[in-house]
A and B are shown apart, each in its own frame.
Chain A
């Protein structure tokens, strides 16, 4: 699986949008971009994933550049409960079966008042 690069940490004011970048310049055509987050003392939580189109769900939006070499996770209105480590993972997929999730060091997002 391709390697990802994320900033070590970021701050965001509560109520503002949090934009978390991820570089994955070696991504291949069949690899998806996944985002998970881990709130302190909890297991990782799946957020969103995408291949090449932008994706949105109830938690976040995922913007993938046209060349797919980078992406941005957007939390539109960050709250204190969004304080967590956010992991960007590139993962190949086989229909109905799992491929490994390889976690990097992630971005520690601190949401402040």
Chain B
């Protein structure tokens, strides 16, 4: 399965600023996703990062707040814009890759823990 890394692993940011999170995969993958996990909550899909076109956002998430780039098949960024304390969460990158049994499954990066003060 793909090995996924994220930068930064954690950050503390002031409200009103923006943070860009990077996701790097060690192999080319077609599908990349960004999830949010608020404190004590489960994961929520933010958007699907499409290579060469605009990301596909889920209900409740908009491009102005969470712009996403996907310049190639191994890299994506998520920006959290004009942050407020409510944006304090773990942000996770996920990819779809071939599993040992031959099927395609989703794998997750280690996450970026963001605290907004």
Interface residues of A (CB under 8 A from B): 41-46, 49, 57, 87, 96-98, 100-106
Interface of chain B: mostly helix, strand, loop or mixed = strand
| Distance in Å: Cβ of B94 to nearest Cβ of chain A | 8
Task: Please report the C-alpha to C-alpha distance between residue A100 and residue B94 in the assembled complex, in whole angstroms.
Answer: 11
Q: Which residues of B contact A41 (CB under 8 A)?
A: 111, 113
A-B contact pairs, 8 of them (CB 8 A): A41-B111, A43-B110, A45-B108, A46-B99, A46-B107, A97-B30, A98-B31, A103-B44
Interface of chain A: mostly helix, strand, loop or mixed = loop
B side interface size, CB within 8 A: 25
Contact across chains for B96 and A98 when beta carbons are under 8 A apart:
yes
Contact across chains for A44 and B108 when beta carbons are under 8 A apart:
yes
What is the chain A residue whose CB lies nearest that of B45? A100
Contact across chains for A98 and B104 when beta carbons are under 8 A apart:
yes
Task: Please report the C-alpha to C-alpha distance between residue A34 and residue B3 in the assembled complex, in whole angstroms.
Answer: 20
B117 close to chain A: CB less than 8 A: no
Task: Please report the C-alpha to C-alpha distance between residue A87 and residue B110 in the assembled complex, in whole angstroms.
Answer: 17
Residues of chain B in range 61-105 having any CB-CB distance to chain A below 8 Å = 92, 94, 96, 99, 101, 103-105
